[in-house]
Chains A and B, each alone.
Chain A
């Protein structure tokens, strides 16, 4: 049982870490502001989501699980809203905004 849990954690966390890698590479390599913004959201949504998923079986009881899920949902909400706001600022005033 515990070996299965370990495997699950390793797979999910590794996948999450991969998306952080992808997000950083995108942020550094993509040609303009809006495409970079796109790369950023992958790390926010999928990277953190998979890390949280991998940590869920190790959380301290139901409250721990609830906290982890809340962290992910809050980051989802925040990053979605902020991406919109940044994109709008870029459209209105150019990338120097």
Chain B
């Protein structure tokens, strides 16, 4: 069973890392951010699988931390240092 979980973890990580080709190719920065977002989710899945395979309970806490903070880079990206909220009406500066 350990082998299966590890293999699954490695496969998921390899898949989402492959998605990072989007970071290089773009074309837009939104696409790049999405690839990072996918890596975040895949990283959490890989971590949970790895933790279960290794029998280390603390990895669930690491995954919980990642799940809480995984969105932050994308939020910083849509804000882009502007004071306007991305979902505020255009005139509302």
User: Footprint of B on A, CB under 8 Å?
Assistant: 6, 9-10, 13-14, 16-17, 20-21, 23-24, 27-28, 33, 36-37, 40, 43-44, 47-48, 51-52, 55, 58-60, 64, 67-68, 70-71, 74-75, 78-79, 81-82, 84-86, 88-90, 92, 94-97
Contact = CB atoms under 8 A, between A and B. Distances in A.
Nearest to A85: B78
Contacts of B42: 20, 43, 47
Given A40-B34, A51-B12, 11 more contacts: A9-B5, A13-B49, A24-B38, A44-B41, A51-B45, A71-B60, A75-B44, A85-B87, A88-B87, A89-B86, A96-B30
Interface residues of B, number: 45
B81 interface: no
Interface of B: 1, 4-5, 8, 11-12, 15-16, 18-19, 21-22, 27-31, 33-35, 37-38, 41-42, 44-45, 48-49, 52, 57, 60-61, 63-64, 67-68, 70-71, 74-75, 77-78, 86-87, 90
A24 B38 CA distance: 8
